[in-house]
Copies of this chain bind each other. A is one copy, B any other.
Amino acid sequence: MKSAVEPLKARRIYLLLRDRIVAGELPPGARLPGEPALAAEHAVSRVTVRRALDLLDKEGLVQRKAGSGTFVHDTRAVRPIVADLSNVLSHLIDMGRSTDVRLLSFGYGVPPESIAESLGLKPGERAQRSVRVRLIDGEPFSYLTTHVPEWIGLTYSEAELAARPLLELIERSGVTTERATQAINATLAGPEAAAALDLEIGSPLLTLTRIVYEPSGRGVEHLHALYRPDRYSFHMDLVRTGSDGERRWSPALGWPRAADKSKSEKSKSGEKPTRTPRVIKQRS
């Protein structure tokens, strides 16, 4: 009973380099240390370094040139950053990007206790469970598991769910949705999510758990979403609010949605970087 399961060495180095790249320490185009140098630096064999670089290569983060070196791939191209807070991909759509939904699972049953509780179901009461995957430009980026009380779920068909937003169907059933709570977190990809999102098991994922309430306070939808961090992230603009001594950041409401920067190009350059939604495909 020793040796806790630790990631393979190649993976360690892969992670390390990956962090240095995404952190910008190794800017796009830069040539990173040679394989012998990396091997010495991390006290591993060159073969292992190679494996790490292979991973980075397969992921499109670096580009290897025989005889020359390994170079950081143009990150901007590889990171088709999808973004938005509070709501989802609203402005993606009117940006000419095609989104698609695939229904993986649909059925009724007794949900796990924690979900039943948040939906205000009595023990044994059934709910509709569905699993969907969202694609952007053909590439999967989110894995959604939703639970809805049975009496609401029965108001629409499986085909309708595959075609329309769930919340729209819920509201169509006569329920009004006003309030919701959500929590954002991180996890590792389990087998199913990894398969659906075209990832390896153990990849990092962004998590969003949202519970939608009707005015009476009863839960009507429990959403558990997993996002690929390289294809999705939450962005928000903040403003400093509160009077002295109690100043905090608050989300900038009524903000210029997807602010087509045509409007504010007054100041010089660094207006709002990291906001270059170019439409470039990533290698599958």
Contact surface of A with B, Cβ cutoff 8 Å: 1, 4-8, 10-12, 14-16, 18-19, 22-27, 51-52, 54-55, 58, 83, 85-87, 90, 112-115, 117-120, 177-191, 200-207, 210-211, 216-219, 224, 227, 229, 233-240, 248-253, 266-274
Query: Across the interface, do A251 and B253 meet the contact criterion of CB distance under 8 Å?
Result: yes
Query: Across the interface, do B185 and A234 meet the contact criterion of CB distance under 8 Å?
Result: yes
The majority secondary structure among interface residues of chain A is mixed
Query: Across the interface, do B184 and A120 meet the contact criterion of CB distance under 8 Å?
Result: no
Determine the distance from Cα of A193 to Cα of B273 in the docked complex, in whole angstroms: 26
Query: Across the interface, do A15 and B201 meet the contact criterion of CB distance under 8 Å?
Result: yes
Query: Across the interface, do A186 and B206 meet the contact criterion of CB distance under 8 Å?
Result: yes
Known contacts A5-B11, A248-B90: A181-B267 contact under CB 8 Å: no
Nearest neighbor of A17 in chain B, beta-carbon distance: B190
Query: Across the interface, do B6 and A200 meet the contact criterion of CB distance under 8 Å?
Result: yes
Query: Across the interface, do B249 and A250 meet the contact criterion of CB distance under 8 Å?
Result: no
Chain B residues closer than 8 Å to A26, beta-carbon distance:
112
Chain B residues closer than 8 Å to A218, beta-carbon distance:
267, 270
Chain B residues closer than 8 Å to A272, beta-carbon distance:
181
